Amino acid sequence: MPEYPELAGRVAVVTGGAGGIGRACVNAYAAQGVSVVIADRDDAAGRATLDGLPPGSKAIFVPTDVTDADSVRAMVRAAVDTFGGLDIAYNNAGVEAAGKAVADMADRDWQRVIDVNLTGVWQCMRAEIPALLARGGGSIVNTASALGQVALPLQASYVASKHGVIGLTKAAALEYSTRGIRINAICPGVVQTAMIDEVAAANPGFMADMYAKHPIGRIAAVDEIADGVLWLSSSASAFVTGSALSIDGGYSAA
Ligand SMILES: NC(=O)c1ccc[n+]([C@@H]2O[C@H](COP(=O)([O-])OP(=O)(O)OC[C@H]3O[C@@H](n4cnc5c(N)ncnc54)[C@H](O)[C@@H]3O)[C@@H](O)[C@H]2O)c1
């Protein structure tokens, strides 16, 4: 992993920080000396992520539901109260869709995915931006997906939510680019996480199908997504805002 010495001493929140990509980013930030707020609705996994950090890491776990405005405000308050401010926000919490056709979806199938994946990112930015402005600026990275750029059948709510995250990211980037806050999205292809392992174990041929969808011939490791998130969080990407960075092995180019 590249070194970003200027990140040492900065403060970051990571939503969905207890899960696959989020946890990899928590580890990556901590390795650069960033003070990290691990924000997740999963208590046990959040505490395990915290406990798994090397001794000397500066981090706290804050139980957070990104669909709850009060909870999100408390997450930002915890960053400011514990570490003195906020410089970086990685808004990554997300859920999968139910796998139903548009005409067969129940209200909850649609609403749950939009609430977490899209409204949750807006809720987070609304709470984070004043804290970033108070520090003179910072960097926000939002997790979209390759499915924010192309579509997949039976995933309409997820596809819509992730297309929405890219639009939201671009609009917010325009609003805050002159005030020191850069706002970007990352668009991962399929990433090797525990969830993917479970699906693969239950469905012979799943991995071969996934590999075929990625022109590079494999899926991503979580650290490959974390590399992009760190770059967007650092001054190495100082001229990058309003972008949707594909880290997808060519998935969205096909
Ligand atoms: N894994 C992939 O192949 C892939 C590909 C593209 C995009 N993504 C996106 O990356 C992000 C992370 O996905 P992952 O694969 O690491 O999934 P994951 O399920 O391993 O992690 C997601 C985390 O978000 C948390 N979370 C869910 N709802 C929440 C809520 N309301 N409030 C707070 N935390 C909540 C979960 O508890 C979990 O820890 C998601 O936004 C997902 O849509 C994943």
Question: Would you say the CB of residue 148 lies under 6 angstroms from ligand 1?
Answer: no
The span from the CA of 240 to the CA of 3, in Å, is: 19
Q: Which two tokens stand for residue 57?
A: 């890491």
Write out pLDDT tens, residues 27-78. 999 999 999 999 999 999 999 999 999 999 999 999 999 999 999 999 999 9
Residue 75 is predicted with a pLDDT of: 99
**Sequence letter at residue 55:** P
User: Looking at residue 25, what is its pLDDT?
Assistant: 98
- What's the CA-to-centroid distance between 16 and ligand 1, angstroms? 6
114, burial (CB in 10 Å: exposed 0-12, middle 13-18, buried 19+): middle
Q: Pick left, alpha or beta for residue 67 (phi over 0 → left; psi -120 to 50 → alpha; otherwise beta).
A: alpha
Residue 245 scores a pLDDT above 80: yes
Query: Out of 3.40.50.720, 3.20.20.10, 3.30.70.141, 3.90.1580.10, which CATH number does the structure's domain 8-189+221-253 have?
Result: 3.40.50.720
Query: Which tokens belong to 6?
Result: 């200027």
As annotated, the active-site residues are: 158
Is 210 touching ligand 1 by the criterion CB < 6 Å? no
pLDDT tens by residue, 68-109: 999 999 999 999 999 999 999 999 999 999 889 999 999 999
| Number of Cβ atoms within 10 Å of the Cβ of 238 | 9
13 Cβ below 6 A of ligand 1:
no
List the domain boundaries for the chain: 8-189+221-253
Report which ligand 1 atom has the smallest distance to the Cα of 42.
Answer: 37
Q: List, for residues 151-174, the tens digit of each pLDDT value.
A: 999 999 999 999 999 999 999 999
Give the per-residue pLDDT at 201. 82
